Structure 1
């Protein structure tokens, strides 16, 4: 596998991971007991930390990409293993 492919896969996994991590650990102003700014939405986060989110996404995406590349090189799980309906099999 070329290194550019690995970088592209890492970027895609990183973006997916970042979006999946967005709702975890975020609290509203009401939950934290902090005063709201006038006109602010009730669901607006009070403790959003983008640096922490990016760090978590980086670590998880690196691990998932490493697993993907290792599987690609070793062939642990192939497309035939994922054919549960038996559509691609010739009997």
Structure 2
């Protein structure tokens, strides 16, 4: 696998994983009972974005390593994937 392809695949895994990890552990202002005037009650009280980014990076790295291992060992080929006629 070319280094450019590996970086692109890792970025895609990281970006898609971000949307899965983003809501983990976030409490809304309504749930916290501290709604700031002029903001949506569903807005996060404390977003903790650095924690989300770190968790997502670990998640994406594990998924990418598993993908790379399967790809380099040729464990799954296009012939193994069933296509609908």
Same fold (TM over 0.5): yes
RMSD between aligned residues: 1.4
Cα distance between partner residues in 1 of 2:13 and 2:69: 15
Q: How much does 1:28 deviate?
A: 0.9
* TM-score relative to the length of structure 2: 0.88
Aligned partner of 1:62 in structure 2 is 61
Q: Once the two structures are superposed, what CA deviation does each residue of 1:21-51 show, in whole Å capped at 9, x if it has no partner?
A: 1122111122123x22111111111021110
Q: What is the count of residue pairs matched by the alignment?
A: 85
Aligned partner of 1:6 in structure 2 is 6
Q: Which runs of 5+ in 2 are unaligned?
A: none
Aligned partner of 1:32 in structure 2 is 32
Question: Which segment drifts farther, 23-32 or 63-72?
Answer: 23-32
- Higher-Rg structure is 1
